[in-house]
Amino acid sequence: MKSFSKILFFLIGIVASKNIFAQSSSTKNTANQIYISPNVQWSDWGTNYSNGTSGNVSNNGTFIFYGRKFTNSGKYSSSAGSKDSFISATIDTIAGTFRPRFYDVVFNNGSNNFAITNDSGIYVAHNINLASSIVSTVRSDSSTGALTLADNATYTGAMSNTKHVNGYVTKIGNDAFIFPTGHSGKYHPFTISAPSSTSSALSVAYYYSNPATTDPTGGSHPLTNLATGLTSVDNSQFWDVVTVQSPMIVDVTINFESIANQYHNTLTTRMVGWNVTTAKWEIIGTAMPNYLTNNGTITNSSVDLSRYSALGIGNTIEVLPVELVSFTAQKNNDNQSLLQWETASETNNDKFIVERSADLISFTEIGEQAGAGNSHVTHDYSLIDAQPLNGINYYRLKQMNFDGTYEYSKIVSLTFDNMMSANDDVQVELLNSINEPSLKITIPADFSNTSFVLEIYNEAGQIVKQSEQFSVDGGSYSIKSLGLGFAEHGFYVAVLSNITQKRKRTFKVIR
């Protein structure tokens, strides 16, 4: 009998011309062994196939499952280069108590879901093609009921709300990996950078439910147990994370369901984790979220996942993007406004815009300074308003974040009341010469031995001409005719500055 069995297995292995071998009974392999040779196809011919407790299937070619259910309670292994294809037109199921080990496996049953109910899950050594819609695993057992991928193993297929793994995915090895997890028709992957060891292993499942009551592996996670700095934790979703084999210190990106609620705030929403030692939710890292249409992402570096049994999102105590220590305005030696400010820390700070107003109603930008981005050290800033207004000047800072949001500082003021007034009898008028228009400046003798500069501004506030420094003759009225060459007709402003006494006066000029 033994020699007959050897001859039978030899014939199965070498008859390459007959590519499809049918199994007549769903329990034929209960007490027998099957060896599928390379380049040979074996099929269950549409029946529910069962590999019994004493069965031993060794696939070195291709096994095609047309039936709706494959029950494995014996040994099932596949060698390098082999393939197992599940292509039923209806819901497919892998059941049983013993984990089948595949090399390449394809789930392709159209729009129907695929259920892995085997108590020990399945093992993939090379690649799994998730061409089906949703593949579910045993959620009650993360360690043995998961879809497990070996070191260097991958999956293919475009993941979405209608194509993902509804349950646990375990990844072994030192590969960067995107866990294709989802729940209740929502795809929210969990991404890690490459662990340091080929023996590292992590099991992850996404739950669209309350982390305080749902987690089957970490027990209860009360949302009231909060570490310092954390004000609340989202009660609608979380990732159950199980470090099967350490070390597991990696960069982590979570993709979470995002709606316009309290957890849609760049300044306060953060990645959080349930610390298994302190039994509290705590903030993980300082990274702020990026928001898309229906979801958001947060990435933090060097997260020790062995510390946590669940990850989610939560709200922190609101911290302003910039901690402003001081903002002051004072006159410098050139009778200008010197604006200075100091920050103790900056978060997501793009720049400071300095604005000025004469009435506290209408503010105009007069300059800007680049921010430090993200910083926890002191930074000093300054800006000069070279042309302050006559009277009270009100100044404020508009702090701009990289995402376009902004905050205003307090308002500071500075008064300039030493401008030349109408009583000084200083006059500026336009001489409309045909060849070249000139400005006639009449200055009283009171300003003998005084130096002046004249500047001309157009309607856009741009300086178009500036005279050389000049002075007047003492003891009498003096007239200076300056050929400043107004090329365009329009409205101009002439600013006459008394350099000696640091006083100035503004005149309107129409060309």
Tokens representing 151? 């070191």
Q: Cα(65)–Cα(55) distance, rounded to whole angstroms?
A: 17
Question: What number is the average pLDDT over the span 439-451?
Answer: 67
Q: What is the separation, in whole angstroms, between the first and last Cα of the chain?
A: 118
Summarize pLDDT for 80-134 with one digit per residue, the tens: 999 999 987 777 899 999 999 999 999 988 777 889 999 899 999 999 998 777 9
Beta carbons of 326 and 360 less than 8 angstroms apart: no
| DSSP 8-state secondary structure symbol assigned to residue 216 | T
Q: Kindly write down the DSSP assignment for every residue of 91-152, as one continuous string.
A: -EEEEESS--EEEEEEE--TTS-EEE--TT-EEEEEEEEE-SSEEE--TT-TTTSSEEE-TT
Summarize pLDDT for 60-77 with one digit per residue, the tens: 999 999 878 899 999 999
State residue 161's pLDDT score.
Answer: 92
Tokens representing 306? 């062995």
Question: What is the chain's alpha carbon radius of gyration, rounded to the nearest angstrom?
Answer: 39
State residue 342's pLDDT score.
Answer: 95
Residue 321 vs residue 10, higher pLDDT: 321
Q: Please, which residues have CB within 8 angstroms of residue 342's CB and are 6 or more apart in sequence?
A: 324, 325, 326, 378, 379, 380, 381
Q: Cα(346)–Cα(350) distance, rounded to whole angstroms?
A: 9
State residue 458's pLDDT score.
Answer: 72
pTM above 0.85, yes or no: no
Residue 191 vs residue 433, higher pLDDT: 191
Question: What number is the average pLDDT over the span 457-478?
Answer: 65
Domain spans of the chain?
A: 322-416, 422-510
Q: Looking at domain 422-510, what is its CATH homologous superfamily? A: Immunoglobulins (2.60.40.10)
Q: Which has the closest alpha carbon to 271: 206, 330, 315?
A: 315
Instruction: Report whether CATH 2.60.40.10 matches the domain 322-416.
Output: yes
Tokens representing 313? 């999102």
Summarize pLDDT for 330-349 with one digit per residue, the tens: 988 877 899 999 998 888 89
Any bridge partners for residue 343, and if so which? Answer: 324, 379
Q: Cα(83)–Cα(451) distance, rounded to whole angstroms?
A: 94
Q: How far is CA 340 from CA 331, 334, 428, in A?
A: 11, 16, 35
Summarize pLDDT for 264-282 with one digit per residue, the tens: 777 788 999 999 999 999 9
Q: Cα(405)–Cα(141) distance, rounded to whole angstroms?
A: 45
- Read off the pLDDT band of 495 (50, 70, 90): confident
Domains 322-416 and 422-510 belong to one CATH topology: yes
Which amino acid, 505? R
Q: Are strands 364-375 and 337-357 parallel, antiparallel or unpaired?
A: antiparallel
